[in-house]
Structure 1
């Protein structure tokens, strides 16, 4: 994606829309990683409580 294409999107859709889209695309991978870590944390907490055996990494 080149600069003229980005400026075209800004002209057509407006700066707030383009900025929101850009930030959402950038954060998508970080959110997926966070979801995985939260799932792992949930398993570790359950293992500490004795609900399930601890998963070996």
Structure 2
């Protein structure tokens, strides 16, 4: 049981932090993708 608690505290916490950060980064990447697509359409409409 002591080994399980040690493993959970040393491995589980970093996994939870990584998952949290990946979810936050995913939202930011989606926002950046939308901004790039909007910029692309703006440039295309001004170029013509």
Runs of 4+ with >4 A deviation: none
**How many residues are aligned here?**
41
TM-score by length of structure 1 reads 0.52
TM-score by length of structure 2 reads 0.59
Q: What is the CA deviation profile of residues 21-42 of structure 1, one whole-angstrom value per residue up to 9, with x for unaligned ones?
A: 1101122222211111110000
For 1:34, which of 7, 27, 32 is the aligned residue? 32
Equivalent residues in 2 for 1:15-54, closer than 5 Å: 15=14, 17-50=15-48
Distance 1:13 1:43 in 2: 48
List alignment gaps of at least 5 residues for structure 1: 1-7, 51-57
What SS is found at the alignment partner of 2:18?
helix
Alignment RMSD: 2.6
